[in-house]
Structure 1
Amino acid sequence: MLEVEGLTAAYGPVRALDDVTMSIAPGAITAVLGANGAGKTTLLRTLSGLHPAKKGRVRMDGTNITALAADRIARLGMAHVPEGGGVLTELTVEENLRLGALWRKDKRDRAKAFTEVYELFEPLAQRQRKPASTLSGGERQMLAIGRALMGRPRLLLLDEPSLGLAPMITASIMRVLDDLRAQTGLTVLLVEQNARSALSIADRGLVLSLGRVVASDEAKTLAADDQLRHAYLGF
């Protein structure tokens, strides 16, 4: 689904990603882990076209997307939920979701997507006409993910979906991601500070430190590596 070769990105003289190489199989959940400043957010922003790559190559389903604009990448089937979700608080829940499917032509499929999102996130179904400003932090995160799913992505990039949320809400969101992968074959690239939670649902994990890949393996192998966990994962 995704192939990344030698990806490098910078902010001025500061190199945020340094020769990152990785691949993601279709239908897999891959966790991207590491401390603050490791380059996790920059990786997602560069993959989705929000930040330019200095060098390297990104392919999705064999198509080179390295230099494409973010909107073209989205139309190819990649959705990016940034840290904090970024919902529009002055709009209703339904209006926020509608934004996620604006470019899709099939009205019948858009209606079906609404139903599916409301089934996944029941609190949103109960608040369809309410402004997003009235939602809790967990509900706003559900709305951000739901809005991304309205576009029918094949690859979903999630940046810190558990940030600031209660453990019970975090567990609920992780279960939804696991269910989506099982039911629809959705491929997920998940950036998380909560390494234990991310590895519990991931197939593979990637650990970044100062923009470089320091470990890449099956999730259960990374979780069982005591030295790696203590050095980079915080549990």
Structure 2
Amino acid sequence: MSDRTAARSGSLLEAEQLTVGYGAAPVLRDVGLTVAQGSITAVLGANGAGKTTLLRTLSGLLRPTAGRVVLDGQDLRGVKVEQMVRRGVAHVPEGRGVVTELTVDENLRLGGLWRHDRADAKRALDEVYELFEPLARRRRFPGHQLSGGERQMLALGRALVGRPRLLLLDEPSLGLAPRVTAQIMGLLRTLRDRTGLTVLLVEQNVRSALSVADTGIVMSLGRVVANADAATLRDDEDMRHAYLGF
């Protein structure tokens, strides 16, 4: 068994019968999923399917009215958002969330403020600059002077400075040119292969997501309607036409 196969033999994250709502009507209904350690899992579906709500629930921003989330065998019910970060969960929301008044370097350092091992925090920062060369060239630039692609790299880099085990990534290609989208997706694959990072990726660009994902989860109206390896979903013509739009 290869190292890569071994890394994916167990699950890192499980959601069991999640029901979540912002009011009386649930947005997620009995959602269950398993994310293998060291894998990229794409969450796909039309607008309003519940994808962003799912990520917000998994990161602790929303509390389910029923069901539970389990990370590496530990029940996360009642765990606060800041504790989720310390347990290795990083959430990069849609819109990137860069602090535009701060420099690239200052933004990245925010990602490691909670860490006590300062030497390793410095190593993590250096590794991010090595991975994202455009950021290294612009480390003294304020966030508002970056391109859309550079801001997405910065949001990703800030999450990685905290050395997460699980990266929850919401619509990283939103508003980006196809070339930049391809770069971002390639970086996710590099992170998976180089570090064993587990990624749960919400993405409207279905082709790009399935090109890097190991597994795809398709959602519709708050429910999971398909869960299969990425190649199977890519080749399933009925599924593509019904839910994926290509």
TM-score interval for Structure 1 and Structure 2 normalised by the shorter chain: over 0.9
Could you list the per-position Cα deviations for residues 184-209 of structure 1 after superposition, in whole angstroms to 9, with x for gaps in the alignment? 00000000001110001101000000
Corresponding position of 1:108: 119
SS of structure 2 residue aligned to 1:37: coil
Residue type matched to 1:78 in 2?
V
Ranges in structure 1 where 5+ consecutive residues have no aligned partner: none
Corresponding position of 2:61: 50
Residue type matched to 2:70 in 1?
R
Ranges in structure 2 where 5+ consecutive residues have no aligned partner: 1-11
Matches within 5 A, 1:1-235: 1-235=12-246
How many equivalent pairs are there? 235
Pairwise CA RMSD: 0.6
Residue type matched to 1:181 in 2?
R
Paired with 2:65 and 2:176, the residues of 1 have a C-alpha distance of: 34
Q: CA deviation at 1:68?
A: 1.1
Paired with 1:14 and 1:175, the residues of 2 have a C-alpha distance of: 38
Paired with 1:127 and 1:14, the residues of 2 have a C-alpha distance of: 46
Residue type matched to 2:73 in 1?
G
Paired with 1:14 and 1:139, the residues of 2 have a C-alpha distance of: 38
SS of structure 1 residue aligned to 2:210: helix
Residue type matched to 1:187 in 2?
T
Paired with 1:168 and 1:234, the residues of 2 have a C-alpha distance of: 21
Extract structure 1 runs of 4+ deviating beyond 2 A.
none
Paired with 1:154 and 1:215, the residues of 2 have a C-alpha distance of: 25
Q: CA deviation at 1:233?
A: 0.7
TM-score, length-scaled by structure 1 = 0.99
Is this contact kept in 2: 1:29–1:204, CA < 8 A?
yes
Paired with 2:80 and 2:125, the residues of 1 have a C-alpha distance of: 27
